[in-house]
Amino acid sequence: MLKRKDLLGIEDLGREEILEILDAAESFQEVSTRPIKKVPTLRGKTIINLFFEASTRTRTSFEIAGKRLSADVVNISSSTSSVSKGETLIDTARTLDAMAADCVVIRHSASGAPHTLAKLTKASIVNGGDGSHEHPTQALLDAYTIRQRKRRLNDLKVAIIGDIAHSRVARSNTHLLTKFGSHVWLCAAPTLMPLGIERIVCENNEFLHLTNSMDEAVEHADVVMMLRIQFERMTESFFPSVREYFRYYGLTSARARWAKPDVIIMHPGPMNRGVEIATDVADGPFSVILDQVSAGVAVRMAILYLLLGG
């Protein structure tokens, strides 16, 4: 079991805890291959998915993970909750706690929202993505996918390319991969690289590299992780046109050839095809994008199991 009530970010997770989650996920992966995909592990537990931002993968995979562990799972979105009538997030959380929820998975546009809830609730809080801050379960499923393919998490060159400024995925992955001694190359157009990024991340700065050159990032990479342009978080224009963006920062098969011959291509989804990644690369032989989705269920089963006690 994890010796913590909540899972709020990768920054404060130790390597041992990360490995414990990945090892447990390996055991749970098998459950999804059975004809009856269910174990009684969390029977009697209640999990609430509280999503204030759109989600397909995270919300659905937490729901599937909870149900495969026999927990009761309830989904609440901002449009169908009393938040739409003006109720505060804190009152919403206290209300769910009064109903004896065991775990609340929250996604919110405000960085730190899960941390606020964690201080107020008896329920375990899992961060399903908070603003531009962290998306810890995404980084864990990415690490799971990388470990499955590369058999290690250390001594890799991982290029993370795209909208770094708005990306909680980049932040969580940088924390995780540098903790294990892999070299992370964050690559973005100058306008999409946040100022002071080298101070924000991370404790293991010798493993962090910043570049505006996609060729430099991709060259000899073991892993290339493309990020979505988050148009919904942009209040101004960050580049002249999508066409120009794709020309300089889109992953094409020609660019992918600069990486190692056994490179894996990742994307957390949802993808903007033709913006940050070409369709033939997204669907090509080096892509592990759907493996990431499958890993999401196993990793979230492991997280729920390790937090809620089984």
Point out which residues bind ligand CP (CB under 6 A): 55-58, 129, 138, 268-270
Query: Any alpha helices (H) in the chain, and if so which ranges?
Result: 15-29, 57-68, 89-98, 113-120, 136-150, 168-179, 197-200, 214-218, 242-249, 253-256, 279-282, 289-308
- Least distance (Å) between residue 226 CB and ligand CP: 12
Q: Give the active site residue among 41, 58, 145, 178.
A: 58
> Please, which residue, 207 or 299, has the CB nearer to ligand CP?
299
Q: How far apart are CA 57 and CA 175, in angstroms?
A: 22
Ramachandran class of 126: left when φ > 0, alpha when ψ lies in -120 to 50, beta otherwise:
beta
122 carries an active-site annotation: no
> Please, which residue, 131 or 269, has the CB nearer to ligand CP?
269
150 carries an active-site annotation: no
- Least distance (Å) between residue 278 CB and ligand CP: 20
Q: Give the active site residue among 3, 33, 80, 85.
A: 85
> Please, which residue, 58 or 182, has the CB nearer to ligand CP?
58
Q: How far apart are CA 190 and CA 284, in angstroms?
A: 29
Question: Residue 200, Cβ neighbours under 10 Å: how many?
Answer: 11
135 carries an active-site annotation: yes
Q: Is the peptide bond before 103 cis (omega within 30 degrees of 0)?
A: no
In the numeric block, which tokens belong to residue 261? 């011959």
Q: How far apart are CA 133 and CA 268, in angstroms?
A: 15
Q: Give the active site residue among 4, 5, 57, 149.
A: 57
- Least distance (Å) between residue 107 CB and ligand CP: 7
> Please, which residue, 63 or 207, has the CB nearer to ligand CP?
63
Minimal CA–CA distance to 157: which of 234, 201, 211, 236? 211
- Least distance (Å) between residue 91 CB and ligand CP: 25
> Please, which residue, 71 or 266, has the CB nearer to ligand CP?
266
Minimal CA–CA distance to 166: which of 192, 186, 198? 192
Q: Give the active site residue among 68, 107, 171, 255.
A: 107
Q: Which residues 6+ apart lie within 8 Å of 248 measured at CB? A: 189, 214
- Least distance (Å) between residue 65 CB and ligand CP: 13
Minimal CA–CA distance to 135: which of 181, 173, 182, 177? 173
Minimal CA–CA distance to 301: which of 122, 12, 40? 40
68 carries an active-site annotation: no
> Please, which residue, 9 or 268, has the CB nearer to ligand CP?
268
- Least distance (Å) between residue 143 CB and ligand CP: 14
- H helices then E strands: how many in the chain? 12, 9
119 carries an active-site annotation: no
Active site residues: 57-58, 85, 107, 135
